[in-house]
Amino acid sequence: MLSQSVFGEEPVNATNAGSPASAGGSAEVASNLAMAESVTRHGPFSIGTNWHFLACGVDSLDVGLFVEWGILWDFLAKQFDLGKERASRSKGLPSSDYEFLILPSGKPPNYRWHLQWPGFHLYLANQKSAQRGTPNAYASINAKTLWLESVELAVQSIVREIELLGGDVKAIKPSRCDLTADFLLPGGLSLPFLLEHRVPEHTQHSHNMTAERLETFYQGAKKSPVQLRIYDKGLEVLKGGTKFWFRDVWGIETLQDVWRVEFQVRRTALKEFKCNSMEDLGKQLAGLWSYLTGRWFSLRLPDDPNATRRTTHPFWQAVQDCAERFGELSHVTRNRENGLASEEFYVQHGAGCLAGFAVRRQEPDMEEACRQFTGAMLGYWRERDFAKKYAVKSIQLGFAGSPAMAGAMVEPQTGKDSPCEIGQQTISD
């Protein structure tokens, strides 16, 4: 039963939010950082053979929840609005039982309210029930909760708190899942080494460096369905100063040379892998890891001109072997048609542009306008790198490893292209 108000009196602000624990770690952080900076790195094109597996698991999990709220929903919504207003310019307003905070902003455009528990964040839409297959609640689970408890317990705690607020969770759909494996890797990794050994090699990447020291390597665009991050996790923990609990997860004292391989898998890709429930995700974790570290990306020795026939690097073989630690290995297939625009979409888009082009050319004849449109696009791409653009677009849409590589290594053959095909490829730019 809800009390008259679910909120207490005092917001948590910048002056009262701190804790002795958060302040006490600064000297240790400075000391460890000083030690880390003095380490001499190994050569850029090779790594040692004494790497050591530390841990693997789900580091980040966002889920959409389909909730049916009860008869108290109107009262609850008013309380949330009141709490959101009172939380303005603070770090959150505690509930009357001090179990959670209500934050001053939601998650635009769908979720009006933002609630925070110690183990997760919950975002609520102003809807008594889910509509048109869209969840009316969204939760982001903290990494610490996932590592020190479990995915199952974390999701159960979200359901329990929603029930205490008067809601009934009808379904849960994974929206984002980060799969990771951590290794103690003396000497670390370098950018030249990764660029020399990565397959596919002709795809979008970016990186963060401090001087000549690699901190993070990204494969794939930030908003693509799948993105790989390889980074110095130990350095991140030292810099942040709030995740020293990872030493208990890893079973080590030092934080130097701990490197993470992390795949961020968004809802578009999860849908393609048919992960439409938490049960689906649990069954496919091992298969997902196997696919991502085998077909989507790998590190291979440069011992064959054909990248697909190259020998897997021994370190990456250890990364691939983590699949069995995620659960029972199952074969997964990826249906890339799900969530992607159809060929007809691009045809319609190009056809719509044709009319405007014809008007600018003052060419009312459709067939002649098509010929001129095609010629203009051919001229456009002859002055640009179509193969590179094809490779980038391929990785952004989740086709890494096959079409992207082929498109980047073969010059476009424009002589045989039809007007329709040229239109599709150009308009999708």
Q: How far apart are CA 255 and CA 103, in angstroms?
A: 33
Task: Give the pLDDT confidence of 34-81 residue by residue, as tens digits.
Answer: 333 333 333 345 576 789 999 999 999 999 999 999 999 999 999 999
Radius of gyration of the CA atoms of the chain, in A: 26
Structure letter (DSSP) for residue 300 = B
- Give me the helix-helix angle, 233-240 and 26-37, nearest 10°: 140
Query: What are the DSSP E strand ranges found in 257-329?
Result: 258-266, 298-299
Q: How far apart are CA 79 and CA 262, in angstroms?
A: 39
Task: Give the pLDDT confidence of 170-228 residue by residue, as tens digits.
Answer: 999 999 999 999 999 999 999 999 999 999 987 889 999 998 899 999 999 888 999 99
For the entire predicted model, the pTM comes to: 0.71
Q: How far apart are CA 194 and CA 161, in angstroms?
A: 44
Question: What per-residue confidence (pLDDT) applies to 421?
Answer: 31
Contact 93, 102 (CB under 8 A): yes
Beta pairing, strands 213-219 & 205-210: antiparallel
3-state secondary structure of 396: helix
